[in-house]
Chains A and B, each alone.
Chain A
Amino acid sequence: MIRVLGLGNVLMSDDGFGPFVVEHLLARYEFGADVEVIDVGTPGLDLTPYLGDAAAVVIVDTVKSQGAPGELRLYRKAQLLRHPPQPRTSPHDPGLSEALFALTLAGTDPGEVLLVGAIPEHVGMGSRLSPALQAAVEPAALEVVTELRRLGATARVREPQAEVKPWWIAGREHVDS
């Protein structure tokens, strides 16, 4: 199984970049049966079930890095494991590196990891991306697709193209409507 995970909070503007890219991918591409594309929100420690036992994982999130908003940064597993986690106070603190560490120790870590990170412009309450991050959604999705194809997985452009309509912007249908 190969998993594509969008991390971030859709109520906190640019922090929702990962889920926005997931919505884009699901609307524009069809994936092979061995690929799962999931908006995982901000799971902290609860990230491990999504990483465990996967052949490969591609993660999309915002990252702290030097550079202009919307610039993409790519990281591999070794880079993610380079820095030691520190004392934690809440279940949100242990992030990706701690989850990867625990799974590596358990022997169920994903074979390959790619983090596609975007530098955020504005993180605060709001359900839309800033223009710089909106412009980065398609390039980030392409990075994901390129990685999936490199891994030998299927990611086919959907015909006809569906509209990208995240529920937190477009609303949703109700049971009785």
Chain B
Amino acid sequence: MSRITIDPVTRIEGHLRIDVEVNGGRVANAWSSGQMFRGIERILQGRDPRDAWLFTQRFCGVCTTVHAIASVRAVENALGLEVPLNAQYIRNLIIAAHALHDHIVHFYHLSALDWVDVVSALKADPAKAATLAESLSDWPNNNRLQLKAVQDRVKGFVEAGQLGIFTNGYWGHPAMKLPPEVNLLAVAHYLEALEYQRRANQVVAILGSKTPNIQNLAVGGVANAINLDNEATLNMKKLYQVKDLLDGMMAFVEKVYFPDICAVGAMYADWFNYGKGVPNYLAVPDLPLDGKGTQFDLPGGTIMNGDLSTIREIKSFEDPYFKDNVAECIARSWYDGDWTKHPWDESTDPKYGEWQDDGKYSWIKAPRFNGEVVQVGPLAQVLVGVALKHEPTVRWAMKTLETAGKIAGAQLSPAILHSTLGRHAARMIRTAVIGEVALKHWQLLIENIKKGDVSIYNKPEFKGEQRGFGFHEAPRGTLSHWVVIRDGKIANYQAVVPSTWNAGPRDDKGRMGPYEASLVGNPVANPELPLEVLRTVHSFDPCIACAIHTLDPEGQEIARVKAL
């Protein structure tokens, strides 16, 4: 039995630490730990609820807009305040652009290098790579000349010793299995994805006034004045810019991200057997179609034991099935006590102790839904969509399984989605669905404005004690903010974030969180280079201690991988 600790020490305080015990080349036990106290909600106490979203969007520099959205929804819910249709559509477009951006970046820039061997791309035949790419997609940049140019660039880097910057990657690891041509295509798309990251950012900038921290929200609506003919306001020219950018992103998703996932999935098909973990799923509905949040374009609900027939739908911003069933347990977390409480009743009293395998070992609380451990994220979103027969989700899921199956020469069933690679496939499926739906919301916004409706804001009224919750189905999964307001000031605020659902520790009954459970049974070829562990952790797209950013330009050690 050997023990591996993956403990990044990038910042002054650490954040996500993963410990696994390996026995006979397989993970036998696992612990996921948040290494930084995240009691940032306390900074909100006593503040004006109308400002909460400005602060919450600083919880995390990657998930800025999602915390802003969940926050205004929570305060609006507390006040029973509807927002005008225009505000809803504008918010939805920001949500969609952010999600497109986040998923593309996650796959290409954070996790693709777990599967793609950059150095192997040097051995590729660009003509063969182009032929292969053309069999999957008509993306114009997949031609021999451009692929050759990418290869020359990488070659130049290697010859100049500059690829040394990546020497701590896992090139040449025995678990890397893609042929050189596929590696070359993936490197080319890694570089192209940078451009789509930039375009998505532009959409958010046009609608949100600024990025990465948007400025256009308000409790009760948005602050985007609308006048289709005025240069200074949201006008037709800006709206068409948004459409062009969304169209371009959707093309990238269809013609690059989709075939890449199908090809990687087919060539690493054994990874559909690992990483299942907790097959209970939670997703909330999003992209509301009315001011109150009773009709949505993306469905929500729960699925238990991986059985789609157990689907129970979450139907509105008020739904008691969600409101009454979220709780957090601190039995194994570094807080004072061992309670399980509803977010409105929680306190955050840190009590740091030593790491104890059988005791407390994380700053993250363990959220539970209706008493159950649940997994959140794109896989939950897609499975809930399939269970509820959400047309675009079903269509993209089927198309993905068919295309990957064709490349693999095998029949792939939806059951394979409960896995490490299934989470990557689901993320792409969700991205494609959001890309389509975003264009619909763009159309809805234009039509509504053309009807003469230019309202963007309803005034909030505060009185006595008001409690609310706001949820948002963020790229990483279900996010909820819970607020208690007294006489117009925040009395309590809790954010239950997606990575908490997934990365949380064991609970009072000793049940593992989703990361932990998904790691058990994973292969580990070389404990010194635990690539396989990172593959499964990355498939959740972790975003944990989202608080600190201190650069370490002089230091050598950024992450510590310790095999005992």
Q: Which residues in A have some Cβ–Cβ distance to B below 8 Å?
A: 7-12, 15, 38-46, 48-49, 52, 61-65, 73, 75, 79-81, 83-98, 101-108, 115, 117, 120, 123, 125-127, 167-168, 171-172, 174-176
Contacts and interface: CB of A to CB of B under 8 A. Distances in A.
Contacts of A79: 553
Contacts of B60: 42
B62 A64 contact: no
B538 interface: yes
Contacts of B55: 11, 168
B547 A42 contact: yes
A49 B223 CA distance: 25
Nearest to A108: B194
B552 A64 contact: yes
Nearest to A107: B153
A55 B210 CA distance: 21
A21 to B, nearest CB: 14
B16 interface: yes
A42 to B, nearest CB: 3
A58 B30 CA distance: 42
Interface of B: 6, 8, 10, 12-13, 15-16, 18, 39-40, 42-43, 48, 50-51, 54-55, 58-62, 64, 101, 105-106, 109-110, 153-154, 157, 162, 164-170, 190-191, 194, 197-198, 201, 210-213, 218, 220-221, 223, 457, 459, 534, 537-538, 541-559, 561
A45 B201 CA distance: 13
A171 B12 CA distance: 28
Contacts of A81: 162, 165
A11 B59 CA distance: 8
Given A62-B551, A86-B559, A103 B194 contact: yes
Given A11-B58, A91-B543, A62 B550 contact: yes
A87 B549 contact: no
Given A9-B548, A11-B43, A86-B558, A93 B10 contact: yes
A8 B453 CA distance: 40
Contacts of B61: 9, 40-44, 46, 92
A87 B535 CA distance: 11
Contacts of B545: 92
A100 B537 CA distance: 25
B551 A10 contact: no
Contacts of B18: 89
Contacts of B106: 91
B197 A46 contact: yes
5 contacts: A87-B559, A95-B551, A125-B40, A172-B51, A176-B457
Contacts of A88: 8, 110, 534, 559
A155 B58 CA distance: 28
The list of the 10 closest CB pairs from A to B, nearest first, reads A42-B61, A42-B549, A86-B559, A41-B61, A86-B558, A106-B191, A49-B198, A49-B201, A64-B552, A62-B550
B544 A90 contact: yes
A80 B554 CA distance: 8
Given A75-B553, A175-B223, A97 B16 contact: no
Contacts of A8: 549-550
A94 B167 CA distance: 15
B153 A65 contact: no
Contact of A91 (B40, B43, B541): B541
A106 B550 CA distance: 26
Contacts of A63: 550-554
Contacts of A127: 43
Nearest to A101: B165
B547 A11 contact: yes
A45 B110 contact: yes
B92 to A, nearest CB: 20
Given A46-B197, A85-B558, 8 more contacts: A46-B201, A48-B198, A61-B550, A89-B15, A89-B538, A90-B8, A105-B157, A175-B223
Contacts of B544: 90
B548 A106 contact: no
B205 to A, nearest CB: 9
A65 B559 contact: no
A162 to B, nearest CB: 19
Contacts of B40: 11-12, 125
A150 to B, nearest CB: 20
Contacts of B166: 84-85, 101
Nearest to B537: A89
Contacts of B218: 174-175
Contacts of A108: 194
Contact of A84 (B50, B165, B190, B547): B165
Contact of B165 (A39, A85, A125): A85
Contacts of B48: 171
B559 A44 contact: no
A42 B8 contact: no
Contact of A39 (B8, B101, B213, B558): B213
A98 B105 CA distance: 13
A79 B210 CA distance: 31
B54 A167 contact: yes
Contacts of A38: 210
Most buried by B among A75, A92, A102: A92
